[in-house]
Amino acid sequence: MTKIEAIIQTSRFESVKDALKEAGIEGMTVTDVRGLGRQKGHTEVYRGREYSMDLLPRTKVELVVPDRLVDTAVEVILKSARTGKIGDGKIFLSKIDEVIRIRNEERGEGAL
């Protein structure tokens, strides 16, 4: 099993969610996050005063999928989250040893 963490533009989240659903991947955890990557912060000058935001808003989508679905999920996220501009985000993959469903203690892929 693999955990996919995708940091994406908030404006792309609905597209990513719909595309994942279409690909048969529905379980996910979503968090509003703030971050700083290659795209630095933003400064707006209003009436002679500077207003800066060092950390920009993004959405983090986390999902754990069976290894056979990793490539599909990544491809779907790449396609649906991409705008082509700097600041589109990143995808992180990591191996998951075990998953346990709290309700009935079921383990493994069946618990996903």
Partner 1 sequence: MKNAARAPCDFRSAPFLLRAVTPAPPLEALRSVCDAGRESIRGDFEARGDSLAALAARSALADRTLDSLAAVLFSTGPSRPAEFSLVAIGGYGRGALFPCSDLDVLLLFADARAAEAASAPGAALVRALWDLGWRAAVTSRLLEECDRFEQDNPEFTISLLDSRFVTGDPALAASLLRKILPALVSREQTAIVRALGEMTRERHAKHGNTLFHLEPNLKDAPGGLRDFDVACWATAVHELSRHRDRAAPESGWAALLGEAAGAAYRFIAAARVFLHFHNGRDDNRLTYDLQEEASARGIGSPGGSPQPVADWMRSYFRHARAISRLAKRALDEAPTRPTLYNAFEDWRARLSNSDFSVHRNRAYCRRPAALEDPAFLLSLYEFIARHGIEPALDTESSVERVLASPGYAPAWPGDPAAAGVSLRRILTLPGAGVSLRAMHRVGLLDAVLPEFRSVDSLVLRDLYHRYTVDEHTLLAIEALHALRHSAAEPHRRFAEILAEVEQPDLLYLSLLLHDVGKGMPGDEHVSASVEAAARATRRLGLTPYERDLVAFLIRNHLEMSLTVQRRDIFDPEVVRVFSELVGTPERLKMLCLLTYADIRSVNPEALTPFKAEMLWQLYAAAANYLSRSVDGARIAGGASSDRELIEVVRGSSALASLAKPLAAFLDGFPRRYLKLHAADEIAAHFEMAHRLEESLVAGEPHAAEAQLRERRGQYEITVIARDRPRLFAGLTGALTDWGMNILKADAFSNRSGLVLDTFVFDDLYGTLTLNPEERGRLLGDVEDVASGRSRHDQPPHRHRAPRGAGARSRSLLPTEIRVDNSCSATSTVLELVARDRPGLLHLVSELLADADCNIEAALIDTQGEKAIDVFYLWRRGKKLDDAEAESLRGALLHGLEQL
Q: Footprint of partner 1 on this chain (CB under 8 A)?
A: 9-11, 13-14, 34, 42, 44-48, 51, 53, 56-57, 83, 85, 87
The smaller minimum CB distance to partner 1, of residues 53 and 93, is found at 53
| 107 token code pair | 């383990």
Least gap, CB of 28 to partner 1 (angstroms): 17
Least distance to partner 1 from the beta carbon of 1, Å? 30
Looking at the Cβ atoms of 51 and 92, the one nearer to partner 1 is 51
Cβ at position 31, least distance to partner 1 in Å: 13
Q: Could you give the CA distance from residue 46 to residue 34 in angstroms, rounded to a whole number? A: 23
Separation CA 112–CA 108 (nearest Å)? 7
DSSP annotation of 27 reads -
Distance of alpha carbon 33 from the chain centroid: 10
83 residue type, one letter: T
15 or 72, CB closer to partner 1? Answer: 15
Token couple for 53: 């935001």
